[in-house]
Structure 1
Amino acid sequence: MTSASNAATSSDRVLSAVGLTKHYGGAVALAPIDIDIAAGERITLIGHNGSGKTTFIRMLAGLLEPSDGSALVGGHPLGSIEARAALSYLSDEPVFYDDLSVWEHLEYIARLHGTEDWEQHSIDLLDAVGIVERADDLPATFSRGLKQKAAIAMAFVRPFDVMVVDEPFVGLDRTGRAALLELFRSAHADGAALLIATHELSSVADSERVIALSGGVVTFDGPAHEADVNALTEGFHPDND
């Protein structure tokens, strides 16, 4: 099988990993992965619980140290200030400051990344996900669904070249799902690359490329229209991570 990771040339890669590996003691969580992601590429990452998706995503986001290998985001090493500036991470378990409101979180993130006109952008994002009236509330006190909506606004309030996403639809209602899909489409149209790990397999239809993981090993990496999604996802359960 020819890997789609070879499709990106050195001039248009926004993310490139070589031999990226993670193990805990003698257990391999992620076998060596070589992958290139091109500017503007939309990728769906699929795999069973324990397949290595979250491990891979967290390493790319600079939150987990690789055991071996290396990766560049926007030409900069994982975890560097420049790499963190180029990559936005949307987690399925967002973390908030206990004493900051939704609005204060948005202001902090926007100013940290030099976002202009962040106030109107923040209002638009909060309106899109349906929590504009909760702007002054503490997200740490929210339900899981409301926390996810706040996290979505925080992920999109800042500029980014690539967004990596881990199970973003968990806990979202229909309004939240529709808003998130539209935000993905908008970011993609603006030239951002998206790597979305999800059990929401309808996302595959909006992707150019599918990557499947099983037991920490890449079992498929190719065009979405060539992916046998039923075979790759047999046994999936929506409550899996």
Structure 2
Amino acid sequence: MSAADLSADGISWAPRRADPLLVHPTSFHVPAGDVLGVVGPNGAGKSTLLRMIYRFQRPATGRIRVGGADLWEISPREAARKVAAVLQEHASSFGLTVREVVALGRTPFRSGLARTGARDAEKVEAALAQLHLTGLAERDLATLSGGERQRVMVARALAQEPQVLVLDEPTNHLDIRHQLEVLALIRNLDLTIIVSLHDLNMAAEICDQILLLEAGWTRGFGTPDQVLTETAVSHAFRVEARRERLDPSNSQHLSFHLPS
């Protein structure tokens, strides 16, 4: 499965029709194969926005299209072949092994009680290898560390063969080495990726575009240089953000300070 473009046209969300909007009308377009970083302070609406994209919460207004198809007008099975998600919360393992959990990613391709086929097994083994999990394949998921469990969830999503991959804080619980591995994976996957991140310098490094949210409102959308300015970041996060140049690489990064 190859990447597909994703577009959001005026999507918003509230718990009930009469309630205030938690995400105000938001529009953006992500070309196929690009990485969109969704950033903002706690309570900005990042996770709510992602839930609309992976079809957990129906937008109050607007449309989401993947490869031209309206995500909320197609069947759940078809949608699951287009969008996969890796969330911060990990469900109970129910005694399943790592291989069995990753194999759950093949569910959208099965009919009824049909057994897994050769292609399913091939995709599961490839996902295990890609996330360096082959040696853990027969372990009970409950026995793994938080970082290992996160890698299993990413592998399950890859086994799903999506066109769009949604990642909600994918580096949480990971040590530095595995953070770097997941970031390298994000850059190299032939998928359209929507990822929420707290680390703004990390977002600037790996993302083609940035969507900056604050209190449910879009405060910026564009390239990292366009959006992650000192002024915009300072205002959204209520800090003093400064762009500093690192020697000898001459690269730039943001530093953060409490307002004086």
- State the TM-score, normalizing by the size of structure 2: 0.75
Q: For each residue in 1:185-205, what CA deviation from the matched residue of structure 2 results, as whole angstroms up to 9, or x when unmatched?
A: 221xx3x21111101222322
Letter aligned with residue 107 of structure 1: A
The alignment status of 1:121 with 2:126, answered yes or no, reads yes
- Relative distance call for 1:236 and 1:95 in structure 2 (3 A) is farther
Q: Is the 8 A contact 1:47 1:232 kept in 2?
A: no
Q: Is the 8 A contact 1:48 1:236 kept in 2?
A: no
SS of the counterpart of 1:59?
helix
The alignment status of 1:149 with 2:154, answered yes or no, reads no
Residues 47-62 of structure 1: matches in 2 within 5 Å? 47-62=40-55
Where structure 1 has 5 or more consecutive residues not aligned to the other structure, the ranges are: 1-11
- Deviation for aligned residue 1:182: 1.7
Q: What is the aligned-residue identity percentage?
A: 24
User: Which range is displaced more, 96-105 or 178-187?
Assistant: 96-105
Q: Is the 8 A contact 2:81 2:108 kept in 1?
A: no
- Deviation for aligned residue 1:144: 2.7
Q: Is the 8 A contact 1:145 1:172 kept in 2?
A: yes
- Deviation for aligned residue 1:76: 2.8
2:84 is matched with which residue: 64, 77, 88? 88
Q: For each residue in 1:12-36, what CA deviation from the matched residue of structure 2 results, as whole angstroms up to 9, or x when unmatched?
A: 9622222211113533210011222
Q: Which has the higher contact order (CA 8 A, sep 6+)?
A: 1
Q: Is the 8 A contact 2:101 2:152 kept in 1?
A: no
User: Which range is displaced more, 41-50 or 197-206?
Assistant: 197-206
Residues 128-167 of structure 1: matches in 2 within 5 Å? 131-167=133-169
Which residue of structure 2 aligns with residue 27 of structure 1? 20
- Deviation for aligned residue 1:219: 0.6
- Relative distance call for 1:72 and 1:181 in structure 2 (3 A) is same
2:180 is matched with which residue: 178, 181, 193? 178
- Relative distance call for 1:117 and 1:236 in structure 2 (3 A) is farther
- Distance (whole Å) between structure 1 residues aligned to residue 48 and residue 88 of structure 2: 13
- Relative distance call for 1:44 and 1:126 in structure 2 (3 A) is closer
Which residue of structure 1 aligns with residue 100 of structure 2? 104
- Relative distance call for 1:154 and 1:13 in structure 2 (3 A) is closer
Q: Is the 8 A contact 1:90 1:164 kept in 2?
A: yes
User: Which range is displaced more, 203-212 or 214-223?
Assistant: 203-212
Decide which structure has the larger Cα Rg and report it.
2
Letter aligned with residue 174 of structure 1: I
- Relative distance call for 1:120 and 1:225 in structure 2 (3 A) is same
- Deviation for aligned residue 1:40: 1.4
- Distance (whole Å) between structure 2 residues aligned to residue 138 and residue 232 of structure 1: 45
The alignment status of 1:15 with 2:26, answered yes or no, reads no
- Distance (whole Å) between structure 2 residues aligned to residue 18 and residue 89 of structure 1: 21
Letter aligned with residue 96 of structure 2: L
- Deviation for aligned residue 1:65: 2.2
Letter aligned with residue 117 of structure 1: E
Which residue of structure 2 aligns with residue 71 of structure 1? 64
- Deviation for aligned residue 1:112: 4.0
- Relative distance call for 1:133 and 1:195 in structure 2 (3 A) is same
- Distance (whole Å) between structure 2 residues aligned to residue 163 and residue 126 of structure 1: 15
Aligned residue pairs: how many? 220
- Deviation for aligned residue 1:214: 0.6
Q: For each residue in 1:119-138, what CA deviation from the matched residue of structure 2 results, as whole angstroms up to 9, or x when unmatched?
A: 541331341xxx44332222
Q: CA RMSD in A?
A: 2.5
- Distance (whole Å) between structure 2 residues aligned to residue 182 and residue 18 of structure 1: 30
Q: Is the 8 A contact 1:90 1:165 kept in 2?
A: yes
Where structure 2 has 5 or more consecutive residues not aligned to the other structure, the ranges are: 110-118, 240-260
